[in-house]
């Protein structure tokens, strides 16, 4: 069977053998560790109008918030006390120089404060959407070293069908190029089960990731949000849950050393999402640290799952996986493609409290 046929194949036994093959390869290559990124969704203000996303600027039904520096620092301190070695800062897209100044200051302060005890401090991933080369550079110099920007679909036509005409596919490619050129570990990804998406599109997405030699991958099922134009969109060609598991497993088989997240969206649509996502090859999770009162307003999609760190740890353990509280967990692929040895960013002593 070729990739497209695997993606279209409804037989659950074949799904299980695909997942097993991927799990075996992952255990051999990366062991049973799961890297952690404490996720701080610090703002839901957005200039974009993506047809699928609840944060789109035309959605007037959500309350807009923006955490200040001290609120973010407090979440970061609590994260470090809990033993989280890395953070991911995510927001809607603002892209003004004022906002980039703000994030740069936050990143600098986070890096400085968290490494005061001589430890490597907190690792930092950013996910702020499309910015200029100079803005990405500024944030890199401030101390961010990983960046996530999903292509959403690598097919220009499908991309166009889920974005307003002001949001341009080629621009996103330029951003991904810029991030790589600057020296970030670069992550991208797609949604699975979009209206009009076929196994052919998804097979092309996998080829796109391999082709672009990406370091990190984030893929999750599309979940319709009622306050968006795609509120009632369905894809009758595929089951988003099993198709996402297949995409994870295939991606792991093609890219043995990248970091790949088990998305919150996958965990939202099925109670076994985390366990199966880990087995299928995911090796990163992003426990949500966003303050409880803000969480309902960071509504990319509906009914987003919130799981405590303890629950995540318990579920992972149930599938035989161990959360890596003791290391940054950078992408192995990043160092390999640059001909560098993988650094030891281990936290000093027992980093875990509470
Ligand atoms: N503004 C940033 C980050 C926020 S959106 C950026 O553009 O990168 C983060 C991701 O959430 C998006 O890349 C998209 O893939 C996902 N997302 C948005 N709406 C979604 C939906 N309805 N269902 C599933 N995933 C969604």
CA-nearest residue, atom 11 of ligand 1: 300
30: pLDDT strictly greater than 90: yes
Q: 58 CA distance to ligand 1 centroid (A)?
A: 15
Atom of ligand 1 nearest to the CA of 224: 22
Q: Containing H/E element for 78?
A: helix 69-81
Distances (CA, A) of 245 to 192, 281, 328, 351: 10, 9, 25, 32
Q: CB of 265 closer than 6 A to ligand 1?
A: yes
What per-residue confidence (pLDDT) applies to 280?
98
Which residues, including other chains, have CB under 8 Å from residue 351's CB and lie 6 or more apart?
Answer: 83, 85, 325, 326
- 223 CB within 6 A, ligand 1: yes
- State the pairing for strand pair 322-323/38-43: unpaired
Average the pLDDT over 62-69 and give the result: 98
Q: Tell me the pairing of strands 322-323 and 33-36.
A: parallel
Q: What pLDDT digit, counting tens, does each position of 186-206 carry?
A: 999 999 999 999 999 999 999
pLDDT, tens digit, 9 for 90 and up, residues 305-351: 899 999 999 999 999 999 999 899 999 999 999 999 999 888 765 45
Q: What is the pLDDT of residues 210-220, one digit of tens each?
A: 999 999 999 99
* Closest C-alpha to ligand 1, atom 1: 92
- Could you identify the atom of ligand 1 that is nearest to the CA of residue 265? 24
- How is residue 175 written in tokens? 């951003």
99 lines ligand 1 (CB under 6 A): no
Output the pLDDT for position 119.
85
CA–CA distance, 254 with 251 (Å, rounded to integer): 5
For residue 201, give every residue at least 6 positions away whose Cβ sits within 8 Å of its Cβ, in sequence order, or none.
153, 154, 155, 158
In the predicted model, what is the mean pLDDT of residues 107-133? 95
Name which of 133, 134, 128 is nearest 147 in CA terms. 128
pLDDT for position 353:
46
Between the CA of 35 and the centroid of ligand 1 the distance, in Å, is 21
Ligand 1 centroid distance, CA of 338 (Å): 29
Which ligand 1 atom minimizes the distance to the CA of 218?
15
Mean pLDDT of the chain: 96
Residue 349 pLDDT: 54
Q: Determine if ligand 1 sits within 6 Å of the CB of residue 187.
A: no
| DSSP label at residue 219 | E
Is pLDDT at 117 greater than 90 in this prediction? no
Mutate to test the pocket of ligand 1, among 150, 230, 244 (most ligand atoms within 8 A of CB): 150
Question: How many angstroms is it from 50 CA to the middle of ligand 1?
Answer: 9
> What's the whole-number mean pLDDT along residues 114-142?
95
Cα atoms in the 13 Å half-sphere on the side-chain side of 272: 8
- What pLDDT is stored for residue 354 in this prediction? 43
pTM above 0.85, yes or no: yes
Q: Ligand 1: does its nearest atom lie under 6 Å from the Cβ of 92? A: yes
Question: How far is it, in rounded angstroms, from Cα 180 to Cα 6?
Answer: 31
Q: Ligand 1 pocket, 150 CB below 6 A?
A: yes
Q: Give the long-range contacts of residues 172-176, CB within 8 A, separation 24 or more.
A: 172/130, 175/130, 175/131, 175/136, 175/149, 176/149, 176/151, 176/212
The full DSSP string for 98-153 is HHHHHHHHHHHHHHHHHTTTSS---EEEEE-----HHHHHHHHHHT--EEE---B-
* Cβ neighbours of 37 (radius 10 Å): 29
* Cα separation values, 170 from 80, 161, 173, 211, 216, Å: 38, 14, 5, 16, 20
Is the CB of 90 inside a 6 Å radius of any atom of ligand 1? yes
Q: Which residue has the tokens 């318990």?
A: 314
DSSP3 helix / strand / coil % (the chain, rounded to 5)? 40, 15, 45
């Amino acid at each position: 069977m070729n990739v497209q046929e695997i993606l279209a194949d409804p037989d659950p036994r074949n799904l299980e053998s695909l997942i097993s093959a991927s799990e075996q390869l992952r255990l051999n290559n990366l062991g049973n560790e799961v890297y952690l990124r404490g996720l701080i969704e610090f703002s839901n203000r957005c200039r974009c109008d993506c047809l699928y996303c609840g944060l789109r600027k035309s959605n007037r039904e959500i309350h807009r918030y923006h955490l200040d520096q001290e609120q973010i620092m407090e979440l970061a301190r609590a994260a470090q006390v809990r033993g989280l070695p890395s953070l991911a800062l995510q927001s809607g897209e603002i892209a003004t120089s004022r906002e980039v100044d703000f994030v740069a200051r936050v990143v600098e302060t986070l890096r400085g404060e968290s490494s005061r005890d001589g430890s490597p401090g907190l690792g930092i991933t950013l996910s702020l959407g499309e910015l200029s080369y100079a803005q990405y550079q500024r944030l890199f110099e401030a101390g961010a070293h990983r960046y996530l920007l999903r292509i959403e679909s690598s097919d220009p036509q499908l991309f166009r069908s889920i974005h307003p005409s002001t949001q341009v596919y080629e621009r996103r490619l330029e951003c991904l190029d810029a991030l790589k050129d600057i020296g970030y570990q670069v992550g991208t990804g797609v949604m699975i089960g979009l209206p009009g998406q076929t196994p052919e599109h998804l097979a092309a997405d996998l080829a796109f990731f391999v082709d672009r030699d990406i370091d990190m991958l984030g893929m999750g099922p599309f979940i319709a949000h009622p306050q968006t134009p795609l509120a009632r969109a369905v894809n009758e060609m595929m089951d988003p849950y099993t198709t996402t598991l297949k995409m994870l497993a295939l991606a792991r088989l093609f890219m043995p050393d990248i970091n790949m997240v088990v998305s919150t969206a996958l965990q939202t649509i099925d109670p076994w999402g985390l366990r199966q996502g880990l087995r299928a090859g995911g090796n990163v999770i992003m426990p949500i640290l966003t303050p409880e009162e803000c969480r309902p307003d960071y509504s990319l999609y509906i009914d987003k799952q919130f799981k405590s760190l303890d629950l995540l740890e318990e579920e992972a353990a149930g599938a035989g996986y161990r959360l890596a509280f003791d290391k940054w967990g950078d992408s192995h692929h990043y160092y390999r493609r640059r001909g560098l040895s993988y650094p030891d960013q281990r936290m000093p002593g027992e980093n875990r409290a509470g």
